[in-house]
Structure 1
Amino acid sequence: MLVWCEGFFQTKSALSSRCSNANMPESTPERPGRSQSRRFSAGTLGNLHESYLTCLCLSGRIWQHLVEIVKTGKVSVIITTHYIEEARQANVVGLMRNGHLLAEGPPDAVMKQHSATTLEHAFLQLCETTDQNSIKQTSSPQSGPLDSSQSFDGGREENQPILGVGPPAGEELPRFSANWKVQARHILPRGRNVAALFIKTMLRMRRMPGSLCFQFLLPVIQTSLICLCVGGDPRGIQVAVVNNETSPSAYSHSLLSFLDNSSIYQVPLSHKDAFEGVYNGDYWGVIGFGENFTSYLTKRMMQRHVSKEVIDGGSVHVWLDLTNRQIALMLQKKIHDAFQAFVDNKMGSMSYLVALPIKFEDPIYGSQNTDFTTFVTPGAVLSITFYLAVGLTALSFVLERKEGLLDRCWVAGVSSVETMLAHLFSQLIVISVQISLMLLFILLVFKTPNEGSLLLAIILIVLQGIAGISFGLVISAAIDDEQSANQAALGIFYPNLILSGIIWPVECIPYPLRYLSLALPQTYASESLRCIMYRGWGLSRMMVWRGFAVTLGWNTFFLILATVILKLRT
């Protein structure tokens, strides 16, 4: 009976003896799993002097065992591998291409001859030299069959390795500089390699469905929290009320009835208790009325000339705790609105006599009830897209380098540009889903206004996502450990959030820092997205196309920088 086990056939009796060496049960399935195959391969290493062909997944322990049995016994081990750097542990290495032996000898000697720091570099030089020779031979054929001095049995001892196939010993190996066609073949990205790396990255994502779902939902959660918790009016603010008027028909009671009770909770107190409560942090302010407030206010409305005492007695006195400016501004606005409603109710068509001589007409852009959330939302969407993309890619190369996948890609002939493009395309799919979900929520659920082209807004957000991916690739290419990569990604978050005009206008930033703010990737982009959504502007406006131009510039810079760093480090 023949049993298949990781690329070689053995009889059942031989299989049973090797199962005992590998601590595996004899009832091994006809095609065992990968972990059992690796254990079985390790179990068969002790019998390599027998006539068995074994294909191994070479781990560090297996390499160590191979070295030991070669040193202690009269055994030669021949290994074939696509991972060039893995072969550096061998005593003699042979580099082949298209069935032809390019070089043979100790790894250090091969690298020294070609002034290379790695076997991969030496192999690439040999390939370029071979390509150049083939081009020259095609244009002017000068080579013929190998003579006796070049053949393998022309006087060279069998155990003496060759360092190169070419001129006889004693002559210097001819060196050629590859022409632009050969160089372009090694520089330009190949679609097959990019597609393979793209599939590999997508498979890694698919194996973690929980993490992938969390990545899709996280921007929706963050955007929803911003729309729900940022920019709204404070609720349930306790304010002490000191009313010295006792009559139920007094103007003070009528005025207080116009206050927004959902935002302000009125607590009637004496003068002493009210101020003591504010000092103790129990209340956010005090609203006070004099005992003659109604009569003095009537005189102010009816008489042209009144004394200072009448003016003071007919005024509403407010003391606020300004440690929280947002709450203080809300209280000022609510009290002002309540007084205006009270005057309109009491005076009717004559209310203009006591109104401020300033009239705010209908707004040119936006609406009268525009809140702070409307200002924050566009910048928040760009910021969330950017930094989630940074988080997705900041650890990409770090983890692959840690697992050895990145080195395997290099020795397989994958270029840094191909690696960058594969990660860019795979992460672009993720951020496209994130952007779609975010826009659905802010436009349909939270009713954020959009007066301009939705397509322009989507393109700008996607470009910001690509900028985040590119910046994450820079971090991942430059840093080796996960902790440092996380620190670099988080270290840029708050400075960019504060300086980019996302949560507060750029015009409020002092001028030395404002110049730095204008150079950041999200400052002009946030302004551009607000102009698209709230003003309905298109690319013909400078404030719109400037955001696109700056974002494209940062994308190009980050991608080039990441490619250069990755190339230098490999």
Structure 2
Amino acid sequence: MESIDNSTNTGSVEIGTTHLQAPAESAVVPRPCSAVVVRSAYKQYNQTAVLKDLNLTVPDGKIYGLLGPSGCGKTTLLSCIVGRIRLDSGEIKLKGKFISDIGYMPQELALHEELSIKETFIYYGYIFDLSRETIEKRARELKDLLELPCYSLVLSDLSGGQQRRVSLAVAMLHDPKLLILDEPTVGLDPLISQSIWELLIELTSKGKKTVIITTHYIEEAKQSHMIGLMRKGTLLSEATPTELLTSCDCSYLEEAFLKICQSHVAKTNSFKIPIKQPTRRFSYARDLPPPPLLNNKLFTFGRFKAQICKNFFLLTRNIPFTLFLVCLPIIQTAIFNITCGRDPEKLALGVFNEEISNGFHACSKVHVSSNGCFLDGRTAVSCLMLEKLKEKSFTLVEFSNIQDGRNAVVSNDVWAFIHFSSNFSGSLATKIVTGSDATNDTLTSSTIVAWVDRANKYISEMIQRDILDSYSNVIESILFTCGISKKIGYSPLQIQNPVYGIKNPSFIHYAAPAIIALCAFYLPAIYTAAAILSEKEGGVIERVVLSGMNFIEIALAHITVQILFIAIQTSLVMIVMFAIFQNPFVGDPFPVFVLLTLIGVGGMCFGFFEAILCKTMTEAAFLGIGTNFLLKFLCGMMWPIEGIHYLLRNVSYYLPLTLSTESLRSLTAKGLKVNHPSVYLGYMSILSWIVVFSLVSYLLLKIKRDVWTKT
């Protein structure tokens, strides 16, 4: 940064396009050395010039009031001075050399309203690398100077005026030489506004501080030592209040400002003033190093410590929210285990049993013996079947004819309807004894006929499975009782004990790894994006960036805190899913813990990507919800990827959670080691996505015009 020479200026005052001379006795008055000098400043957005060949000089140790209507370019000019925005052409020179020489107070509060005054001072003090003792000393001085309330009060509990004073105190905390205040009195009570002006006058009374203050309350700026009047990106006049009033022959600044504006409008309407096109000479980048590069360092421990402290302050400020954050994945996995994957119970099953004249409720009154052979005609096999179905938690509904039972299925009164013929047991015995010699009537009478509502695939297949299982169990039992080999009743296909898993797995056993992976990925993503975007929308990010913070320090501090939460959440989820609800787990828990932690880190990196890409939390919410549904359907979470359309199947393998979810299944249900391809490919996949999200986020930081970058 180039320092400013101690040059002098004449006492002439430029108003509009005329050159008005100050009173004779002050025709040649030495000006103090300048704290800020802007020359030939030009800046445009979307082909619209915001600053047009602007020249400005701020005397050292004085209050400079920058006046003008909203949209005239005041905030843009200040952003250029503090390094938030780069000029398209022109020069800005400051007397100070480091970002700590500047204290900036934006128009909005731009502070964490969840922090107390003390925590806010600690946070910004660490950003400027102040020691704890220095922070406490400065805090006491500012408390007396600004009449701040109790340090333990949270900012959200303060009045608007108290919040503005805290914001001013933050700007002054590191004792800067140059204070830049963007409309500090807007919306405040006149008494509070006057107290702020009295404070500024006191600060500059000894010439040790320079203040640039913007306001559209023209009369209050009369207390400034120098006034600059802006309109449409141009500085119309720069003079002391007395010089302005004398030159315009006015009693009030507002009247003088109106005269100057009218003169400017008249002259610009009389002839078209050519606007000097900017030469693409970015001298500003050399003269004023961007504040985020404090002392040209990308990382300092002080700023990193500030972010760590701020994150913990916010977490401890709202203990219920923090506990909810920790317990949310536990709640989700517990509810999932309680509500999903369990076989439905008490399903209505219609029955018409012609074998028992008084209905199937009379089964217990007939001679039913499981100890006798059914070939003796005393055992009603249909009753044994119905008893087995009751054991499987079906609710049996009796019908007196086939038509009523079928109509009950059509009207959704029952899920299925089964019919036993009047000679079911006898025909079944004849079929077993005669074998291939059985007549067609015998075969028909020994058959159970069922009508099933197949609109619900899972329930219909479960009903069919339970009916077949009940039939097989009854047949094997009665054959054994009769001394006949049970193998006669066996299905021609014999399924041996499973290689992996259990004999009758539930859907929850398939979905459990997917649910864990989804929670591990999206909870850190949601928290990360929400935490950063809330600061971004409130202007906090921009304020700390202008104080020297950069994205690397913000990200590293967030990662440090988040990894701690991810480790705790992962451990608790594993306990709930596998220890409490007894989902299949036959492997080593450590590789599972590591993989879930990596998935959480991948979700956190996706959250950073969202925070950089999206401007608002609404955009991030839509992006998060949309990708959540896509990953559920495309990553084999809701259904095996083998069932996905072949055009999307190959795409699925390259998505963040496909291979890592399959890796979780292999680790938990199969007990495979990390060196198995189905396991280590999951690790490689999520690690690759961590790198991808990080690189894309870095590129967005470089090319996207946002609070993280200089424009």
Q: Which band: TM-score by shorter chain?
A: 0.7 to 0.9
Find the counterpart in structure 1 of residue 330 from structure 2: 220
Secondary structure at the counterpart of residue 362 of structure 1: coil
Find the counterpart in structure 1 of residue 80 from structure 2: none
The correspondence of residues 99-138 of structure 1 with structure 2, limited to 5 A, is 115=282, 122-124=287-289
Secondary structure at the counterpart of residue 252 of structure 1: helix
Does the CA contact (< 8 Å) of 1:385 and 1:465 recur in 2? yes
Does the CA contact (< 8 Å) of 2:382 and 2:424 recur in 1? yes
- Find 2:225's aligned residue among 47, 65, 75: 75
**1:341-397 Cα distance to aligned partner (Å, 9 max, x none):** 211221115221122122221211112132211111111100011111121112233
- Find 1:198's aligned residue among 304, 308, 318: 308
- Find 1:516's aligned residue among 641, 644, 651: 651
Secondary structure at the counterpart of residue 258 of structure 1: helix
Q: Which amino acid counterpart does residue 123 of structure 1 have in structure 2?
A: L
Does the CA contact (< 8 Å) of 2:529 and 2:610 recur in 1? yes
1:300 aligns with 2:431: yes
Does the CA contact (< 8 Å) of 1:452 and 1:534 recur in 2? yes
Find the counterpart in structure 1 of residue 395 from structure 2: 265
1:231 aligns with 2:341: yes
Find the counterpart in structure 2 of residue 436 from structure 1: 571
Q: Which amino acid counterpart does residue 386 of structure 2 have in structure 1?
A: L
Find the counterpart in structure 2 of residue 326 from structure 1: 458
- Find 2:531's aligned residue among 356, 374, 396: 396
Find the counterpart in structure 2 of residue 339 from structure 1: 471
Does the CA contact (< 8 Å) of 1:219 and 1:438 recur in 2? yes
- 1:34 deviation in Å? 6.0
- 1:205 deviation in Å? 2.5
Q: Which amino acid counterpart does residue 432 of structure 2 have in structure 1?
A: M
CA distance in 2, matches of 1:325, 1:262: 19
Q: Which amino acid counterpart does residue 195 of structure 2 have in structure 1?
A: T
Does the CA contact (< 8 Å) of 2:406 and 2:417 recur in 1? yes
CA distance in 1, matches of 2:142, 2:205: 8
- Find 1:465's aligned residue among 578, 581, 600: 600
Q: Which runs of 5+ in 2 are unaligned?
A: 1-139, 150-160, 169-187, 207-211, 228-234, 240-277, 358-365, 367-378
**Change beyond 3 A, Cα 1:351–1:403:** same
1:210 aligns with 2:375: no
CA distance in 2, matches of 1:318, 1:389: 50
Find the counterpart in structure 1 of residue 71 from structure 2: none
1:64 aligns with 2:229: no
Q: Which has the higher contact order (CA 8 A, sep 6+)?
A: 2
**Change beyond 3 A, Cα 1:120–1:481:** farther
**Change beyond 3 A, Cα 1:492–1:125:** closer
- 1:198 deviation in Å? 2.4
CA distance in 1, matches of 2:427, 2:596: 59
Does the CA contact (< 8 Å) of 2:341 and 2:507 recur in 1? yes
**1:45-69 Cα distance to aligned partner (Å, 9 max, x none):** 45469656699xxxxx974279754
CA distance in 1, matches of 2:602, 2:596: 10
TM-score by length of 2: 0.59
Secondary structure at the counterpart of residue 303 of structure 1: helix
CA distance in 1, matches of 2:313, 2:459: 51
CA distance in 1, matches of 2:203, 2:549: 34
User: Which structure shows the bigger proportion of residues in strand conformation?
Assistant: 2
1:417 aligns with 2:582: no
**Change beyond 3 A, Cα 1:466–1:427:** same
Find the counterpart in structure 1 of residue 446 from structure 2: 314
Q: Which amino acid counterpart does residue 64 of structure 1 have in structure 2?
A: T
Secondary structure at the counterpart of residue 342 of structure 2: coil
Find the counterpart in structure 1 of residue 19 from structure 2: none
Does the CA contact (< 8 Å) of 1:396 and 1:473 recur in 2? no
Does the CA contact (< 8 Å) of 1:120 and 1:411 recur in 2? no
The correspondence of residues 363-378 of structure 1 with structure 2, limited to 5 A, is 363-378=498-513
- 1:316 deviation in Å? 0.8
Secondary structure at the counterpart of residue 519 of structure 1: coil
Find the counterpart in structure 2 of residue 350 from structure 1: 485
- 1:44 deviation in Å? 1.7
Find the counterpart in structure 2 of residue 253 from structure 1: 383
Does the CA contact (< 8 Å) of 2:476 and 2:489 recur in 1? no
- Find 1:44's aligned residue among 179, 187, 195: 195
Let me know the Cα RMSD of the aligned residues: 3.4
The correspondence of residues 1-12 of structure 1 with structure 2, limited to 5 A, is 6=142
**1:306-353 Cα distance to aligned partner (Å, 9 max, x none):** 122211111111110000111111111111111112112211152211
CA distance in 2, matches of 1:255, 1:365: 31
**Change beyond 3 A, Cα 1:45–1:114:** farther
Does the CA contact (< 8 Å) of 2:602 and 2:690 recur in 1? yes
CA distance in 1, matches of 2:325, 2:202: 53
CA distance in 2, matches of 1:357, 1:393: 57
CA distance in 2, matches of 1:540, 1:336: 41
Q: Which amino acid counterpart does residue 231 of structure 1 have in structure 2?
A: G
- Find 2:613's aligned residue among 474, 478, 502: 478
Fraction of identical pairs, as percent: 24
Secondary structure at the counterpart of residue 227 of structure 1: helix
- 1:209 deviation in Å? 2.1
**Change beyond 3 A, Cα 1:120–1:216:** farther
**1:492-515 Cα distance to aligned partner (Å, 9 max, x none):** 111111111112111111211111
Secondary structure at the counterpart of residue 6 of structure 1: helix
Does the CA contact (< 8 Å) of 2:390 and 2:396 recur in 1? no
Secondary structure at the counterpart of residue 239 of structure 1: strand
- 1:550 deviation in Å? 0.6
CA distance in 1, matches of 2:214, 2:313: 29
Does the CA contact (< 8 Å) of 2:613 and 2:700 recur in 1? yes
Secondary structure at the counterpart of residue 345 of structure 1: helix
CA distance in 1, matches of 2:422, 2:514: 50
TM-score by length of 1: 0.73
Q: Which runs of 5+ in 1 are unaligned?
A: 20-31, 56-60, 78-87, 93-110, 132-184
CA distance in 1, matches of 2:597, 2:200: 61
Does the CA contact (< 8 Å) of 1:260 and 1:334 recur in 2? no
Find the counterpart in structure 2 of residue 278 from structure 1: 409
- 1:195 deviation in Å? 2.9
- 1:41 deviation in Å? 6.3
Does the CA contact (< 8 Å) of 2:614 and 2:620 recur in 1? yes
Secondary structure at the counterpart of residue 502 of structure 1: coil
CA distance in 2, matches of 1:257, 1:49: 91
User: Which structure shows the bigger proportion of residues in helix conformation?
Assistant: 1
Does the CA contact (< 8 Å) of 2:292 and 2:549 recur in 1? no
- 1:253 deviation in Å? 1.3
**Change beyond 3 A, Cα 1:356–1:233:** same
| Residues 516-525 or 417-426, more deviating | 417-426
**1:136-189 Cα distance to aligned partner (Å, 9 max, x none):** xxxxxxxxxxxxxxxxxxxxxxxxxxxxxxxxxxxxxxxxxxxxxxxxx645x4
- 1:6 deviation in Å? 2.3
CA distance in 2, matches of 1:389, 1:126: 30
CA distance in 1, matches of 2:292, 2:279: 17
